[in-house]
Amino acid sequence: MTDQLTIAVLGGGSFGTAIANIIAVNGHKTYLWMRDAERAARCQDIRENPEYLPGYKLNDNLIATADLQAAVESSDVVFISVPSKSFRDVTRKVAPLLKADSIVVSTTKGIEPESFTLMSQILEQELDDVHIGVLSGPNFAKEIVQQQQTASVIASDDEQVIECIQNILCSDSFRVYSNHDRYGVELGGALKNIYAIVCGMAAAWGTGHNTQAMLLTRSLAEMGRFASHMGADAMTFLGLAGVGDLILTCTSDLSRNYRVGFAVGQGKTLEQAVEEIGQVAEGVNTVHIVKQKAEELGVYMPLVTGLHAVLFEGVGVEHIARKLMMGEQNTDVEFQTKN
């Protein structure tokens, strides 16, 4: 085992709690920071996060706190695990508290709308003297705390980050692979949320296996095409943070994005669907942001366009399904490299 380090995980939702607990189980002093002091005190007291992961005991090395300074100032590694909407705000709060040379890792799977900024790019913009990484992969928080065998990816161009994060997270139930394509890994995590909504919607519609296989495969083609245009490595999309996470979230109702799609497919409004979930479903905003970017770049993304039309333009699913099957002229080539 590696030397004992002090780690802070910022964001006391499902994933922050699951990641903090893995590190605590591995023997490191781990702060789990949440903004609500009452909730933090309760988690610390009952050794459980009842709101997000009820029934799972928190390891004794985990300290739930609402004191951001105490959590961050002595930490060697800081994970940020809040929804993308709050990411820049939390990063700014943390900036003056970080130890020089510390490692900061994003686990957030979203995109900031202004100028299409990924979370690790926000870290680059807002922080000095830190080493940056991204953790992403097919990782349901609930299955992590159940110690189901799980794999994830640490992406960084900094070997020190890769080695440290593998050391503090790896166990016999959690394996961490490395990848130097930070942009691709991060983009994969954000894009798959869109297709999870599509697949949830299709499932509510009662689609068969043929349709599901078609949707999954065309989702992968579409996200890979977009990512290549954005400069990501196409190979990344064949890995855990690409097709791995796509399969996970497009086939399971443990995914909040899938559940949003399922609820809308059953006839609920988007607002009702999001409210019912009560946790973040990043794909709802990401579809907006990606549609805009794809139009700007001239990348053909029929599933993104179709989902946007259903969610935000009042177009019926039947109409979109028919349109997708008929295709547009010259779009039935399986591998389109140009657009």
Ligand X SMILES: O=P(O)(O)OC[C@H](O)CO
Q: What's the min distance (Å) between Cβ of 130 and ligand NAD?
A: 19
Q: Select 225 or 256, whichever has its Cβ closest to ligand X.
A: 256
Annotate each residue in 66-85 with x if it binds ligand NAD (CB under 6 A) or - if it does not, as one string: ---------------xxxx-
In 3D space, the residue among 165, 189, 187, 186 whose CA is nearest the CA of residue 177 turns out to be 165
Q: What single DSSP character describes residue 8? A: E
Catalytic site residue from 192, 291, 293, 323? 192
Q: Does 107 bind ligand NAD (CB under 6 A)?
A: yes
Q: How far apart are CA 212 and CA 106, in angstroms?
A: 31
Q: Does 199 bind ligand X (CB under 6 A)?
A: no
- Cβ atoms within 10 Å, residue 61: 17
Which span (6-14, 56-64, 164-172, 307-315) binds ligand NAD, by CB under 6 A? 6-14
Number of helices (H), then strands (E), belonging to the chain: the values are 15, 10
Considering only residues 84-103, where is the footprint of ligand NAD by CB under 6 A? 84, 86, 89-90
Q: Select 30 or 193, whichever has its Cβ closest to ligand X.
A: 193
Q: Select 85 or 323, whichever has its Cβ closest to ligand NAD.
A: 85
The residues, ordered by sequence, that sit 6+ positions from 259 with a Cβ below 8 Å of its Cβ are 200, 253, 273, 276, 277, 281
Among 109, 259, 291, 293, binds ligand NAD (CB under 6 A): 109
β-pairing, 150-155 vs 131-136, is: antiparallel
Among 26, 108, 139, 285, binds ligand X (CB under 6 A): 139
Among 77, 280, 290, 317, binds ligand NAD (CB under 6 A): 280
Q: Select 98 or 246, whichever has its Cβ closest to ligand X.
A: 246
Q: Does 140 bind ligand X (CB under 6 A)?
A: yes
Q: Does 255 bind ligand X (CB under 6 A)?
A: yes
Q: Does 113 bind ligand NAD (CB under 6 A)?
A: no
Cβ distance 154 to 179 under 8 Å?
yes
Cα 53 to Cα 11, 31, 58, 195, 237: the distances in Å are 13, 17, 10, 25, 30
Residue 104 in tokens: 């900061």
Q: What's the min distance (Å) between Cβ of 89 and ligand NAD?
A: 5
Cβ distance 284 to 310 under 8 Å?
no
Decide if 323 is catalytic. Answer: no
Q: What's the min distance (Å) between Cβ of 138 and ligand X?
A: 5
End-to-end CA distance of the chain: 47
Q: Select 102 or 193, whichever has its Cβ closest to ligand NAD.
A: 193
User: Which residues are tagged catalytic?
Assistant: 192
